[in-house]
Amino acid sequence: MRTLATVFGLVGALVFSAGIASAAQPEPWQMGFQPAATEVMEFVHWFNNFTLIIITAVTLFVLALLIYCVVRFSKRNNPEASKTSHNTMIEVVWTVVPILILVVIAVPSFRLLFMQQVIPQYDMVIKATGYQWYWGYEYVDEGMEDVAFDAIMLSDEERAEKMASEGLTEKDVPRLLATDYNMVVPVDTTVLVQVTAGDVIHAFAMPAFGVKIDAVPGRLNQTWFRAERTGIYYGQCSELCGKDHAFMPIAVQVVTKEQYAVWAEAAKSDVDEANAKLAALIKKEKVAAAKGADDTLTVAASN
């Protein structure tokens, strides 16, 4: 029994890990939010569910009142119409109760706004500039001033070539979301993002992070995120900016701090070389992890 429990536990862990990796992008026929990758987005999930419960209860209550009134005061059940013009208690209740409901909703709403707007002590700064129709990223921290690149959506031909050359699947390189360069950041690190635009108004939006802020020419807006899980997360420009508005995605690759240190050191001289080193390192670690899991399963099965 212990062996079976170990095997099922390992299998469950692998499935769960795969679920997290696949949760970095929208899914076909998805109805709700993408899984949260930050504390802010987790609160957004909670607040959404919280308000859904409240509005569902209010809707059902109003529906019950309507049904009651239709039945109770129908011509058949109430042939003589009431002459009542007002009821003080009812008027007090339907004034006070909505106020209390709105206060209950407002308190966590203000807390969420505070979390999104008040930037905590940050560990690194990246400037994101929107253009028609791509994003430019500049690493502002000391020693990283020369690291800058543009991220352009992969065409279908480039996407197919990338999958063939690197042995990737369609899920690894999602259509209309994958870019030739990703913003690379370390996990569990507070990142300040300075957002602006070089031509017209754009918007930097990353659903899994709970981030959305306008990119306005001549103005520097600021937002932040702290990703809690590694993976590649996708967003898009969320402000109508021209004919290719739908084709300027945002890709943020969250890696371990050790992986980021390797990438950052190489990126100071060559971003392409840094990306190649990062991809090789991630692939090597995945192979090692898979081999370790297979060895553990083999030992568990033999016991």
Write out the DSSP string of 185-249. Answer: EETT--EEEEEEESSS-EEEEEGGGTEEEEE-BT--EEEEE---S-EEEEEEE-S--STTGGG-E
Most distant pair of Cα atoms in the chain: their distance: 89
Q: What are the helix (H) ranges across 128-177? A: 156-166
DSSP string computed for 94-109: HHHHHHHHHHHHHHHH
Tell whether the model's pLDDT for residue 19 goes beyond 60: no
Asked whether the domain spanning 124-290 has the same topology as the one spanning 39-117, the reply is no
Domain extents for the chain?
Answer: 39-117, 124-290
Mean pLDDT of 265-276: 94
CA pair distance 153, 155, nearest whole angstrom:
6
Strand partners, 288: none
Helix (H) or strand (E) holding 172: none
Fold for 39-117, please state it: Helix Hairpins (1.10.287)
Q: Which fold has domain 124-290?
A: Immunoglobulin-like (2.60.40)
Range with the lowest mean pLDDT among 17-26, 29-38, 157-166?
A: 17-26
Q: Which long-range contacts (CB under 8 A, 24 or more apart) does 58-66 make?
A: 58/101
Query: Can you tell me the mean pLDDT for 239-262?
Result: 95
Q: Write down how long the chain is.
A: 303
Reported as a pLDDT band with limits 50, 70 and 90, residue 303 is low
Of 2-6, 162-166, 256-260, 263-267, minimum mean pLDDT range: 2-6
Under 8 Å CB-to-CB from 153, ≥6 apart: which residues? 134, 176, 177, 178, 179, 247, 248, 249
